[in-house]
Amino acid sequence: MGTRLRIGEFARIAKVTIRTLRHYEDEELLRPVYIRNNSRYRYYDTAQLLTIQRIGALRDIGMSIADIRRLLRSTDQGAELLHAQRARLRNSILLEVARLRRLDAMLGEGADFPDQRPVCARVRSIPPSVALCRRATVPHLGEAVSELFESAECAAKLDRIDESPFLLLHGDRESPGGIDVEVCVPVDARSRLPGVREVEGAAVAGCLVYRGEYSQSELLFDAMHRWAGQIGATARGPHREVYHRFGADEHGYRLPGHRIANNSTDFVTELQMPVVPVSR
């Protein structure tokens, strides 16, 4: 046992506030060694300065109060908890580095040419979805794709749900044998219609929304590939064009009015490009 100190003196030496000591007492991290009955004055032992120092050090590395409580009561010096905190800090650093790269991409840092327009893509996950699908090889992305969508929408009309249809680009747009595409119309997960399947999602994808003619997609996908390189990633898996507002013939089926755009300038399309980090 060391010398007993009143709470104010202990706080002064420990370089903390009395309020902090009260909080640690409430959280069962550090209790006074003695509380005088009549005055309720709190006294701490000088040996507890080592404990308050340790608590401060653990707080400085971002450990939660709950984890510190468990660590102080552990019999192995909290090795497992410290390793877990290390993993959290490392993940946090990697996340911040990824954010910094995306910010640099927005600023145009690392672009091949100074006049290239920076891409402001959003990074997020793509959940899996259930859709009625039609896959084919088409000579170009135009009327043939529209016909596939019309066929799929008509077939899906009984089980259609109000989500955006999308196009999977399985192959290269420049392939001499044609473009491998798959149109996907979202349906109820319980649907048993022919052609219904679960379309795989993506853990990480760059997503970019634009308005207007579909002819913009190719140039924007090219820009997204450059953006992926700037953030230390590379594309993987089929690209997607998701149609939030679009034109449709609606022969044999009907879609919600908010999905339909009568003029191509009002089309709203989202490009989704699954990506994975590049090994360094």
Residue 252, judged by CB atoms within 10 A of its CB (0-12, 13-18, 19+), counts as: exposed
Q: Which residues are registered as beta bridge partners of 202?
A: 126
Regions in the chain scoring below 50 on pLDDT: 113
Mean pLDDT across the chain: 90
**95-132: pLDDT as tens digits:** 888 888 888 888 876 555 455 566 778 999 999 999 99
Q: Which residues are registered as beta bridge partners of 130?
A: 198
Task: Compute the distance between CA of residue 13 and CA of residue 49 in angstroms, rounded to an integer.
Answer: 8
**12-56: pLDDT as tens digits:** 999 999 999 999 999 999 999 999 877 788 999 999 999 999 999
Task: Compute the distance between CA of residue 123 and CA of residue 208 in angstroms, rounded to an integer.
Answer: 9
Please choose, from the candidates 77, 76, 73, the residue with its C-alpha nearest in 3D space to the C-alpha of residue 29.
Answer: 73
Angle, alpha carbons 241-245-250 (nearest 5°): 105
Q: Work out the percent of the chain whose per-residue pLDDT is above 70.
A: 95
Task: Compute the distance between CA of residue 197 and CA of residue 83 in angstroms, rounded to an integer.
Answer: 42
Strands 179-186 and 129-138: antiparallel
Cα 175 to Cα 137, 138, 139, 171, 180, distances in angstroms: 10, 10, 9, 7, 9
Query: Does residue 201 come out as left (phi exceeding 0), alpha (psi in the -120 to 50 range) or beta?
Result: beta
Predicted pLDDT of residue 116: 58
* Amino acid sitting at position 147: E
Contact (Cβ atoms closer than 8 angstroms) between residue 164 and residue 244: yes
* Structure tokens that stand for 107 in this block: 């600023």
- H-helix or E-strand containing 48? helix 48-60
Task: Compute the distance between CA of residue 59 and CA of residue 69 in angstroms, rounded to an integer.
Answer: 11
Phi, psi of 7 (to 5 degrees): -55, -40
The domains found in the chain, sorted by start residue, are: 4-73 (1.10.1660.10), 122-277 (3.20.80.10)
Task: Compute the distance between CA of residue 253 and CA of residue 149 in angstroms, rounded to an integer.
Answer: 12
Q: Work out the percent of the chain whose per-residue pLDDT is above 90.
A: 74
Contact (Cβ atoms closer than 8 angstroms) between residue 85 and residue 67: yes
Task: Compute the distance between CA of residue 116 and CA of residue 226 in angstroms, rounded to an integer.
Answer: 10
Task: Compute the distance between CA of residue 110 and CA of residue 121 in angstroms, rounded to an integer.
Answer: 16
